Structure 1
Amino acid sequence: MREREHETPHGETPYSPTSLLRALTADPYGVDTLRKDEHPAAEAAPPDNRIMRGVTLLLALALGFAVAVSVLDLRHEAGAQDSPRDLLEQEVLETRTEAEQLEQRQAELEGQIADAQGVILDSTDAGASDQLVSYERAGGGVALSGPGTVLELEDSAPLPSSPGGGAGTVNRVTDGDLQIAVNGLWAAGAEAVAINGQRITATTAIRTAGSAVLVDFRPLSPPYRITALGSSEQLRTSVLKAETGDYLTEISTRYGIRMSWEDGEELTVPARAVGTLREASVLDDETQGAPDTPPTPSSTQPSTAGSGAEEETP
């Protein structure tokens, strides 16, 4: 048995558990250092040669490859199946498709109702159906097509910012801008007006909520395409010569609002949204024959706030 040639100040071996704690408070100059051949684990250490280095390198590469494959598999599964963004986008697409199908079905049912209504009116009064169509045309209840012009208003491009800063400010089209433009087109003689597919009538509300512009409580996004039916040259010339033209020119030059005109021969404005039929009943003979008691309408139509086109009517 080999004798211990080097001991700590308290008699422990250099690698005993208590010697480590005592060495923290002992004088470091009073402890002899160990030589390499006296290390307790020197005989158990593996040999340091090329073969062992190669084996260690191969094991490290295999372990890294296994870890990389596992991470990629986890990311792929999480991105393809469990991503909240992908699930939300899929739900939005499905809801949009379902809404389009319901709108198409609604249009078909409204056409059937209109045909049945025309048959009933013609059976009671020969000119009642044509009179109703003229009223609906004046009130925006039917879609119209014909020549006209399209006034497009779009938010400004990002304005220059200070050096080193982010994107500049963007001046946006407001509900007041759209109200003035619509009123100008009515005053110029437009027969029908629509903004991004939303029909404008005397009771249409053009308002803003946050950063979104609402037309009859439907949010629209820029660019705002204002379609007006009528003589394109007359509409454009009349608007630009009036106060509306001065206002549009000012917001374009001062705030960078982009404005453009586009004429067309086959423009279409849709019909306005009609009220929802809640309840209907057949009138008896006595009620139909009473001249002083007008029938009470059994359909309700949502009311709207004042609009930007309230001073001008088609």
Structure 2
Amino acid sequence: MRRLRRISLWRAGAPLALLCAGLLFATSATNARGTDLRPSRNTTLAGLVEEQSRRSASLVRQHAALTQDIEKLQAQQGSIDPVLSKQLKDLSDAVGTTPVTGPGLTVTLKDAPSQVVKDNPDVDADWLVIHQQDIQAVVNALWAGGADAISIQNHRVISTTGIKCVGNSVVLHGVPYLPPYKISAIGDRRKLQKALDDSQYIENLQDYVVKFQLGYDVKNESSIAMPAYEGTLDLQSATVPGFPRTPSTSPTASGR
């Protein structure tokens, strides 16, 4: 009799267990939405940065393609006055919306090697990495040296370009990048090099290059092909020197 009871209990319990297992699988599939519930490589910061960089680069390419289509359609509507056309070209060159080629310099900045980090556990971690201030110092020195055009990570730098640190990555035009950071400038190479040598900030950076092997390399380039800036030119906010710092949003940004 006991055996019959056990058999009947098993027959009743087995379908219930299978039903519970099915519910668990269904819940897991719904939550995962077809993806791995325990992703491996994409959880690392480097993987996330690379994924976001690829996505942003794709959107920038789409924006550039659409802009070219708009310009072609505008050109089909009628010819532009030659004087106005020249003014437009000159302004485009100054703003950075046309590609340029010429001799110049490329400065490469790197974090300290991993072995140096391991050998100096008591050293402040901020001393062993490249920061936005380091990149800004190089860019400012190159502008001071008369650079005609500058790019960072092969992306054109314009007057509204902002360089920001986010974790151990640097964000440029909304796209995160990991080191090494390559900063190229087109112009007179001797003047550009002198401006780098005269920079007090870069002189201070050289101390950390010697102490902790931060990467700082300057390379002469006989020809640099620099792309045009492909992002938006809308001014999001601005302040007037000498007046209270109350940002004024542009009509384009506010949608008015």
Is residue 204 of structure 2 the alignment partner of residue 250 of structure 1?
no
What's the CA shift for 1:244? 4.6
Q: Which amino acid aligns with 1:143?
A: P
TM-score (norm 1): 0.52
When structure 1 is superposed on structure 2, of 114-123 and 210-219 the one drifting more is: 114-123
- Tell me the residue number matched to 1:232: 189
Q: Which amino acid aligns with 2:226?
A: V
In the alignment, is the contact (CA less than 8 A) between 2:147 and 2:185 conserved in 1? yes
What's the CA shift for 1:225? 0.2
Instruction: Give the whole-Å Cα distance in 2 for the aligned partners of 1:94 and 1:250.
Output: 34
Is residue 151 of structure 2 the alignment partner of residue 174 of structure 1?
no
What's the CA shift for 1:218? 1.9
- Tell me the residue number matched to 1:262: 219
1:251/1:118 CA distance change after superposition, 3 Å: farther
* Relative contact order higher in (CA < 8 Å, ≥ 6 apart): 2
1:200/1:94 CA distance change after superposition, 3 Å: closer
Percent sequence identity is 24
Instruction: Give the whole-Å Cα distance in 2 for the aligned partners of 1:222 and 1:267.
Output: 21
- Tell me the residue number matched to 2:169: 212
1:199/1:100 CA distance change after superposition, 3 Å: closer
What's the CA shift for 1:95? 9.3
Within the candidate set 80, 84, 106, 1:150 is matched to 106
Instruction: Give the whole-Å Cα distance in 2 for the aligned partners of 1:249 and 1:139.
Output: 32
Within the candidate set 143, 147, 150, 1:186 is matched to 143
Instruction: Give the whole-Å Cα distance in 1 for the aligned partners of 2:216 and 2:75.
Output: 43
Within the candidate set 214, 217, 236, 1:303 is matched to 236
In the alignment, is the contact (CA less than 8 A) between 1:195 and 1:226 conserved in 2? yes
Instruction: Give the whole-Å Cα distance in 2 for the aligned partners of 1:133 and 1:234.
Output: 26
Residues 147-172 of structure 1: per-residue CA shift (max 9 Å, x gap) = 11100010012326569x8xx95711
Instruction: Give the whole-Å Cα distance in 2 for the aligned partners of 1:86 and 1:250.
Output: 39
What's the CA shift for 1:137? 1.3
What's the CA shift for 1:102? 5.6
Alpha-carbon RMSD across the aligned residues, in angstroms, is 3.7
The total of aligned residue pairs comes to 198
1:257/1:115 CA distance change after superposition, 3 Å: same
- Tell me the residue number matched to 2:84: 128
Residues 19-44 of structure 1: per-residue CA shift (max 9 Å, x gap) = xxxxxxxxxxxxxxxxxxxxxxxxxx
TM-score (norm 2): 0.62
- Tell me the residue number matched to 1:110: 67
Within the candidate set 77, 82, 85, 2:39 is matched to 85
What's the CA shift for 1:120? 4.9
Ranges of 4+ aligned residues in structure 1 off by more than 4 Å: 81-84, 86-89, 92-105, 118-121, 160-163
Gaps of 5+ in 2: 1-34, 240-256
Residues 101-152 of structure 1: per-residue CA shift (max 9 Å, x gap) = 66544433322322344455734x2221221121111111222222111000
SS in 2 for 1:201: coil
Instruction: Give the whole-Å Cα distance in 1 for the aligned partners of 2:172 and 2:58.
Output: 23
SS in 1 for 2:69: helix
Matches within 5 A, 1:1-20: none
Gaps of 5+ in 1: 1-80, 276-299, 307-314
In the alignment, is the contact (CA less than 8 A) between 1:216 and 1:304 conserved in 2? no
In the alignment, is the contact (CA less than 8 A) between 1:153 and 1:257 conserved in 2? yes
In the alignment, is the contact (CA less than 8 A) between 1:205 and 1:305 conserved in 2? no
